[in-house]
Amino acid sequence: MKAILAEKYGHPEKVLSLKEIPKRSPKAKEILIKIHATTINDYDWCMVRGKPYLYRLLFGLFKPKHSVPGMELAGAIEGVGPSVQKHKIGDQVFGDISNYGFGTFAEYICIDENAVITKPLELSFEEAAAIPHASALALQALKQTGGIQENQKILINGGGGGVGTIALQLAKLHNCHVTGVDSHEKLEMMKSLGFDSVLDYKLTDFTKTGARYDLILDCKTNKSAFSYVKALKSTGKYVTIGGEPWSLIKILFWSKLISLFASKKLQILSLRPNEDLDYICNLVKQDKIKCEIDGPHKLEDTAKLIQYFGEGKHKGKVVIQIN
């Protein structure tokens, strides 16, 4: 089978290559999936380059321990191990497999049956592949962690990315007023998607405008805990989903102290992959939310696409179609 291999860390276009590798057979609790669509995520950008260096503790100290990157897929089951109970041959499945490893930049994958869930037949493989990671982050950040309520004033930092564009649509279902922060090039697209106001992060520091928010969803975490506290209303919540590891450690440290003295809350989301995706799929089926797709692109262009993703040139989810 064809797969994209990362045999060492480095620039995606220097270390990734399309190769022919043997197709595995499923072990007892594994399923063999023919992958029809996959996507590019921040994990791939970090794993292929081995940066930030702290991530090498997870991805392998000197070279990637998973030689095939990719962690989100939609496909059809072509084989099952003898102890598989949840799925059968022919089922269409999708999911974020990051709790079970990597390997979706390939024509096939053998993976634990719990790594994926059943794909609604109404959604194409490309639509389904774009859903799991960004939608689960957006939903869990806004609902479960942020406790979003009707008519709140919300800010999404990194609003033009995969998570931000879904979070906006979820917030709009709660009639919230939503401000989005991102680079200049994405602001027009963000306004057309429904952001009530937009800020260019290179020109405006949203924590210094004097505006106060009920809920801040941060995809970047590049300011101090105290500036976030200042930008919150008296009972406001700040939820971060990602950013530089060191900034996240500082947020974790200060959040405990701040909670002792103020009713404002700073929280870090720890993603539970594939949870509550039925809710999101139903909204997609009813045309109440839409996952912005960049592509579909070809498997052989994966290295270029990871670089394009890392440079922030993508709009929405970068989807790769595998024939």
Beta-bridge mates of residue 193: none
Taking the complex as a whole, the smallest distance from the CB of residue 248 to ligand NAP amounts, in Å, to 9
At 258, the amino acid letter reads I
The footprint of ligand NAP on this chain (CB under 6 A) covers a number of residues equal to 25
At 238, the amino acid letter reads Y
- Contact track, ligand NAP, 88-127, x by CB under 6 A: ----------------------------------------
Burial class (CB in 10 A: 0-12, 13-18, 19+), 99: middle
Q: Which two tokens stand for residue 102?
A: 């990597």
Q: Which two tokens stand for residue 62?
A: 């000197």
What three-state secondary structure class fits 108?
Answer: strand
Q: Which two tokens stand for residue 78?
A: 């072509």
- d(C-alpha 201, C-alpha 134), whole Å: 21
Q: Does residue 219 touch ligand NAP according to CB under 6 A?
A: yes
- d(C-alpha 12, C-alpha 49), whole Å: 7
Taking the complex as a whole, the smallest distance from the CB of residue 237 to ligand NAP amounts, in Å, to 15
Q: Does residue 6 touch ligand NAP according to CB under 6 A?
A: no
Q: Does residue 220 touch ligand NAP according to CB under 6 A?
A: yes
- Applying CB under 6 A, the span of 21-29, 119-127, 181-189, 286-294 interacting with ligand NAP comes to 181-189
Taking the complex as a whole, the smallest distance from the CB of residue 168 to ligand NAP amounts, in Å, to 11
Taking the complex as a whole, the smallest distance from the CB of residue 173 to ligand NAP amounts, in Å, to 19
- d(C-alpha 132, C-alpha 166), whole Å: 11
Check if the beta carbon of residue 284 is closer than 8 Å to that of residue 290. yes
- d(C-alpha 127, C-alpha 161), whole Å: 16
Q: Which member of 109, 115, 137, 176 binds ligand NAP (CB under 6 A)?
A: 137
Q: Which member of 155, 171, 269, 281 binds ligand NAP (CB under 6 A)?
A: 269
Q: Which two tokens stand for residue 69?
A: 């990157």
Q: Does residue 42 touch ligand NAP according to CB under 6 A?
A: yes
Q: Does residue 308 touch ligand NAP according to CB under 6 A?
A: no
- d(C-alpha 142, C-alpha 148), whole Å: 6
Instruction: Give whichever of 58 and 89 is closer to ligand NAP, judged by the CB atom.
Output: 58
Q: Which member of 116, 171, 241, 322 binds ligand NAP (CB under 6 A)?
A: 241
Taking the complex as a whole, the smallest distance from the CB of residue 161 to ligand NAP amounts, in Å, to 2
Q: Which residue is nearest to ligand NAP (CB)?
A: 161
Q: Does residue 12 touch ligand NAP according to CB under 6 A?
A: no
Q: Does residue 270 touch ligand NAP according to CB under 6 A?
A: yes
Q: Which member of 115, 163, 280, 305 binds ligand NAP (CB under 6 A)?
A: 163
Instruction: For residue 67, give the nearest of 24, 113, 112 by alpha carbon.
Output: 24
Q: Does residue 161 touch ligand NAP according to CB under 6 A?
A: yes
Q: Does residue 132 touch ligand NAP according to CB under 6 A?
A: no
Check if the beta carbon of residue 12 is closer than 8 Å to that of residue 40. no
Check if the beta carbon of residue 227 is closer than 8 Å to that of residue 209. no
Instruction: Give whichever of 12 and 26 is closer to ligand NAP, judged by the CB atom.
Output: 12
- d(C-alpha 64, C-alpha 10), whole Å: 10
Question: Which residues are at the interface with ligand NAP (CB under 6 A)?
Answer: 42, 134, 137, 157-158, 160-164, 181-183, 186, 201, 219-220, 222, 241-243, 269-271, 312
